[in-house]
Structure 1
């Protein structure tokens, strides 16, 4: 026997029209709708401002990393990317969702492809690209406003400077391959925790090799030795 009770549609034509109105496709028809549209616009502005502030803070942190390591022969594009990632975690910036799995480890494509332009825009660094060991390597030179980034750094990261300095010094002389390995382990540990998996050597190794086909270059012994090093040196996520 069919039920005579009709289910009430939770999404009405009024809801649809309101969505179009809030998206700007329909004109508000009364004072309440005008207020709703204005509130949405203000909300979007606040979100945009927050994103701009976060981006600028990340640029300041990246500028500090460059300042400390720009003379190091091992400091190139990949190492720079991984140290930005690790230092952001040292600062508890909670930006894990911006990083994707790339061949050389966790990578925020949008940020890293814009950061050198931001350096030029702020006149913190001039950048030249030179061939080095078969790779094109960015070389950074202090620009007109170089000293200004330091004031921002002190404001944003003064209380976290010890943690940032620890990361920078631990990885200063380290080969890019080793930095990639440890940054990938860090990412995998966070991912294991987020997926509510049991954190042990087995799950780490499984997740590590699933990260990218290129990770087969690292042996299980290398992975576990790096994990031990990270534990000893405090380069470990708060999970």
Structure 2
């Protein structure tokens, strides 16, 4: 079908030259061009700084989760990932767009594949990989620098500490499958809100089973019961 919009957009030589300047291919020739380029550099620097701060805050939050659960037998990679997701929402960090749909639930690939390197860089934990059960399980142990993350934790999450510890406490001994279920339900409800769909059990089930084929392992009754548990324990997204 042809577009009904016949309006054409014309670009001048000045527009083209400005684009080259802002892209760094051409040196600014006037004071105005220099000011525009400096403004863009300042904006880019501001964005980079904001991303860096956000990443570090997430690393601090992840450190709190690891420190609290590292000795629990049920604590592994997938459970860690889902608890980071749920705790971030408990803190209203608004990072939903960073998560993609994976078989085991919402997952931020970039963050989770870099977090152990950050732990080592900060010397907050020693990490070894246990392959004895046929899969990779990080084993975390404290170092002489572990307590240092708490300085940042108090600064960043002092007001949210109760909410974070509530999430950690609720799932302390919970098996990974149940944490995956809660995180997926949570993600689906947020997606329902974003799409302005009706927030009811039928809609939730539709979104849930479309999330990934692996979600068929969960029965409708299991999803309904877990949703009730989430409501009882206050692990629910706010209504839009």
TM range (shorter): over 0.9
User: 1:227, 1:51 → 2: CA distance?
Assistant: 33
Secondary structure of 2:160 counterpart: helix
Partner of 2:149: 149
Partner of 1:202: 202
User: 1:31, 1:140 → 2: CA distance?
Assistant: 55
Secondary structure of 1:151 counterpart: helix
User: 1:138, 1:100 → 2: CA distance?
Assistant: 22
Partner of 1:121: 121
User: 1:20, 1:213 → 2: CA distance?
Assistant: 47
2:105 matches 1:105: yes
Partner of 2:31: 31
User: 1:31, 1:144 → 2: CA distance?
Assistant: 53
Query: Offset of 1:43 from its aligned partner?
Result: 0.8
Give RMSD over aligned pairs: 1.3
Aligned length: 234
> Structure 1: where are the runs of 5+ without partners?
1-5
* Shift in alpha-carbon separation, 1:132–1:105, aligned structure 2, 3 A: farther
User: 2:156, 2:121 → 1: CA distance?
Assistant: 20
Partner of 1:82: 82
Could you give the per-residue CA deviations for residues 89-146 of structure 1, whole angstroms, max 9, x where no partner exists? 0000000000000110000000000000000000000100012533221000112311
Partner of 1:162: 162
User: 2:8, 2:226 → 1: CA distance?
Assistant: 58
Could you give the per-residue CA deviations for residues 139-197 of structure 1, whole angstroms, max 9, x where no partner exists? 00112311110111011001100000000000111110000001000000000000111
Secondary structure of 1:172 counterpart: coil
Q: 4+ runs of 1 displaced by more than 3 Å?
A: 6-11
Partner of 1:15: 15
* Shift in alpha-carbon separation, 1:8–1:215, aligned structure 2, 3 A: closer
User: 1:87, 1:68 → 2: CA distance?
Assistant: 13
TM-score w.r.t. length of structure 2: 0.95
Secondary structure of 1:163 counterpart: helix
> Structure 2: where are the runs of 5+ without partners?
1-5
User: 1:11, 1:198 → 2: CA distance?
Assistant: 44
* Shift in alpha-carbon separation, 1:110–1:199, aligned structure 2, 3 A: same
User: 1:182, 1:133 → 2: CA distance?
Assistant: 25
